Amino acid sequence: QSVLTQPPSVSGAPGQRVTLSCTGSSSNIGAHYDVHWYQQLPGTAPKLLIYVNNNRPSGVPDRFSGSKSGTSASLAISGLQAEDEADYYCQSFDSSLGVVFGGGTKLTVL
Amino acid sequence: EVLLVESGGGLVQPGRSLRLSCTGSGFTFGDNHMSWFRQAPGKGLEWIGFIKSKTYGETTEYAASIKGRFTITRDDSKNIAYLQMNSLKIEDTAVYYCTKLGGSYADYWGQGTLVTVSS
């Protein structure tokens, strides 16, 4: 059971916009700790996708955006492409547990 | 280009020890905090711990699940971070990733090294 809750799977057609959620609590996201997102393509190491809630590292397309409100955060992907098919993980910090992750969301591009 | 290369993984019996190494290049290793994560087969990501830079006293923090068994150290003269794993359990079987910390997030990841704990 992960500290942050993510839906196990999300799907969308090419060109569509999808939103992945990440729900925490008052001891992590709700305590104003930042949320970060990682993309893990099949068979590869995770890669930083969004940091500090809504910032993109160099090289990450602006189709990816992050937001945070209250005890939750979201990752939006617009103009969905086949290459976006991957597992996505949210990460934050918990005042009791340290660095925490969501269980991951598998994105399928139909 | 930032590169992190893990080594030292392999098959080990329950109760034994193993030390993983992470060699960094393409950045000033000694100025950066380093962290280890792992991913069990078919499962999600799990934080193991981190070690701050020498400027911050090489302070370490660990996840409760491995505290007391795993230790992170660093040798800045060699650009290497280590993960010493003792009293290994079957449930420690995972791919272990070394990362550079950009703040409270891992901005660069190694390719990972597989540790299999089995008799």
Per-residue confidence band for A1, with pLDDT thresholds at 50, 70 and 90:
confident
Q: Are the CB atoms for B76 and B54 separated by under 8 Å? A: yes
- Can you read off the two tokens belonging to residue A99? 């660095």
pLDDT at res. B67? 86
CA distance B18 to B115: 9
* Closest approach of A72 to chain B, Cα-based (Å): 17
Q: Flag if A52 and B61 touch (Cβ within 8 Å).
A: no
Give, as one character, the DSSP assignment of residue B55. Answer: G
pLDDT digits (tens, 9 = 90+) for A51-105: 999 999 999 999 999 999 999 999 999 999 999 999 999 999 999 999 999 999 9
Nearest Cα to A82, choosing from A17, A15, A10? A15
* Chain B residues lying within 8 Å of A8, measured CB to CB: none
* Chain B residues lying within 8 Å of A36, measured CB to CB: 104-105
**Residue owning tokens 């999300």:** A10
- The pairing of strands A105-109 and A9-12 is parallel
CA distance B81 to B27: 14
Q: Where are the strands (E) in chain A, listed by range?
A: 9-12, 18-23, 36-40, 47-50, 64-69, 72-77, 86-94, 98-101, 105-109
- Can you read off the two tokens belonging to residue A67? 């937001």
pLDDT at res. B26? 97
Closest in A45, A89, A100 to B110, CB measured: A45
User: What does pLDDT average to over chain A?
Assistant: 97
Q: Flag if B107 and A48 touch (Cβ within 8 Å).
A: yes
Q: Flag if B97 and A103 touch (Cβ within 8 Å).
A: no
pLDDT at res. B62? 96
- Can you read off the two tokens belonging to residue A48? 């930083």
- Can you read off the two tokens belonging to residue B71? 């230790």
* Closest approach of A36 to chain B, Cα-based (Å): 7
CA distance A58 to A56: 6
Give, as one character, the DSSP assignment of residue A70. Answer: T
What would you measure as the largest C-alpha separation in chain B, in angstroms? 42
Closest in A33, A46, A52 to B45, CB measured: A46
Residues of chain B below pLDDT 70 = none
Chain A residues within 8 A (CB-CB) of chain B?
Answer: 2, 33-34, 36, 38, 45-48, 51-52, 57, 89, 91, 93, 97-104
